[in-house]
Structure 1
Amino acid sequence: METALEGNELLVNQKWEKGTFVMKCGGSTLEELPDSFYSDLAKLQVEGVQPVIVHGGGPAISDNLNKLGIETHFVNGLRYTSEEVLDVVEMVLAGSINKKVVRRIAQSGGKALGMSGVDGGLIIAKPVQAAAEVGLVGDVTDVNAELIEGVLKLGYMPVIAPIGVGTEGSRYNINADTAAGAVASVLGVHQMIVVTDVPGILKNTGGEKRVLETVTVQQIEDMILTGEIYGGMIPKVRAAIACIQGKVDEVIIVDGSEPGILGRVLSGEKIGTRIVRMG
């Protein structure tokens, strides 16, 4: 009987550097990813590539808050997080979503270990400057790289839910993009992959929308000002920009539904949009 790994021929003949890469995936995108995406992850793992996954879960959090009758609102893109809201955030991110990702990887033949930033002091955080307006939302101050590396050495890909812990033991809701950028920076990863439901950043050229191959952070800001980037694409590109920190010099936005997308990116194929720090 053919296994998912044996049937996945898209990656078999590709060459890529053996090493670690960080992938950030939003909660809504995770729900839509095809089984082949998880098969690709498993194939990469078998080939000696070490994925580290940081995921979000905004829509599922909102759904559960609504079911429980807990009101919430957003301030400048950040969910106001009370203790009551944080209980639900942790339940959804570190619970149902995290374990679903781990299960899907296992079903595809891969090995994954789910954890949140609270486990082993993985993500240390402090209150954001606007804590008075947004509540228990945190900024990352440190990431336990040894813990992530230990999980990788055991042969498992870490699947990380962005809940942070303070030095005094308190919990914080961490933006998934911020958490992913911090993890990538501490691990010394040069490149990070942001998996979304769009093929990249689109620019209207001669009445036709085309994917920009490479764009700088400043060019993105300029395109937002001119209206070339608008609507739902604005939070996506701002999220990607947030990942460029420390040693992370470029972020690649790709469509997770593209066949063999991860292997294609890692093998150097020009696909999606590369956001670079400088021109």
Structure 2
Amino acid sequence: MKEIVVVKCGGSTIGELSDEFFLSIKSLKDAGKAPVIVHGGGPEINKLLTVMKIESEFINGLRKTTKDVLDTAEMVLCGKVNKNLVVKLQAAGLNSIGLSGCDGKLMTAAPIDKEKLGFVGEPVSINKGMLEQLIENDLVPVIAPIGIGEDGERYNINADTAAGVIADALNAKQLLFVTDVPGILKNGTLLEQVTTEEVEHLIETGTIYGGMIPKVKAAIKSLQGKIEAVMIVNGKGTSLTKHGSIVGTKVIKEKVALT
């Protein structure tokens, strides 16, 4: 089995992903790796909810999901965003296939708190065999985070959580969080590697601030199970790789000596 790299594309950056980004995914594949894409789509969901005059709210960072909100999220995630990514990957020379967690029971889910959050779910299982079969058939899976419950209901799943669980299930060697910045910067210099403890310190001292805070916290949250490190990388106007290596900030669990 090829070395799997799970790439999580946040909803806020998808519209700004450069041609170089998609060519970088192609270069990863050409180097013998197997990319798997997981994406969000929050801003696009917000736009359609506004157009359709459907109210929604966030509770502890999760979108309360009524049936109407769920239908809207599914239209955006599984339709517009997913297929746009598939088309762009194919333009870069990658044979890709768009899926949601409902397809082939790719991602089963259970409600987190139906009374409080509605149809917001957490992953229960991943159809690892199906994903491995797609990869073996030279396809790049592009996954929208809508899951299917044992009760037959669909559930809206946080894309960061979905990416972490999928990476863990596939024993992925790398999990990349694609953002609109090169990684974590300190005094204008890219930090190539930090521990979770160091990240918390950088937040406390104000080195990591604003919109970067939720991005690094999502990366830290995904450091569970077999995943020992994640990378925060730039998808906007630049290449993911340089001289064959992925460029960005690696966040690791282990405490290392400060240099």
What is the deviation of 1:86? 0.4
Q: In structure 2, what residue type is equivalent to 1:48?
A: G
Alignment partner of 2:85: what SS?
helix
Q: Distance in 2 between matches of 1:177 and 1:20?
A: 17
- Between the two proteins, the alignment pairs up a number of residues equal to 255
What is the deviation of 1:49? 2.1
Given candidates 172, 176, 191, the residue that maps to 1:212 is 191
Which residues of 2 match residues 84-233 of structure 1 at below 5 A? 84-128=68-112, 130-203=113-186, 208-233=187-212
Q: In structure 2, what residue type is equivalent to 1:64?
A: L
Contact 2:65 2:156 in 1 (8 A): yes
Q: In structure 2, what residue type is equivalent to 1:170?
A: E
Which residue does the alignment assign to 2:214?
Answer: 235
- Can you give the 5+ residue segments of structure 2 that lack an aligned partner in the other structure? none
Alignment partner of 2:15: what SS?
helix
Which residue does the alignment assign to 2:18?
Answer: 34
Contact 2:99 2:142 in 1 (8 A): yes
Output the TM-score relative to the length of structure 1: 0.85
- Measured against aligned partners, the alpha-carbon deviations of 1:241-269 in whole angstroms (never above 9, x if no partner) come to 122121111010011136431x439x446
- Measured against aligned partners, the alpha-carbon deviations of 1:187-218 in whole angstroms (never above 9, x if no partner) come to 01132111110111233xxxx33332222222
Output the TM-score relative to the length of structure 2: 0.92
Q: Does 1:248 pair with 2:227?
A: yes
Alignment partner of 2:155: what SS?
strand
Contact 2:3 2:172 in 1 (8 A): no
What is the deviation of 1:39? 2.2
Judging changes above 3 Å, is the alpha-carbon distance between structure 1 residues 43 and 200 closer, same or farther for their aligned structure 2 residues?
closer
Contact 2:3 2:173 in 1 (8 A): no
Q: Does 1:274 pair with 2:258?
A: no
What is the deviation of 1:93? 0.5
Q: In structure 2, what residue type is equivalent to 1:275?
A: V
Contact 1:22 1:193 in 2 (8 A): yes
- Measured against aligned partners, the alpha-carbon deviations of 1:167-199 in whole angstroms (never above 9, x if no partner) come to 111111111110000000000113211111011
Which residue does the alignment assign to 2:33?
Answer: 49
Which residue does the alignment assign to 2:242?
Answer: 264
Given candidates 73, 87, 94, the residue that maps to 2:57 is 73
Contact 2:110 2:149 in 1 (8 A): yes
Q: Quick one: percent identity of the two aligned structures?
A: 47
Which residue does the alignment assign to 1:3?
Answer: none
Q: Distance in 2 between matches of 1:193 and 1:68?
A: 33
For the aligned residues, what is the CA RMSD? Answer: 1.9
Contact 1:42 1:111 in 2 (8 A): no
Contact 1:190 1:247 in 2 (8 A): no
- Can you give the 5+ residue segments of structure 1 that lack an aligned partner in the other structure? 1-17
Contact 1:64 1:88 in 2 (8 A): yes
What is the deviation of 1:84? 0.7
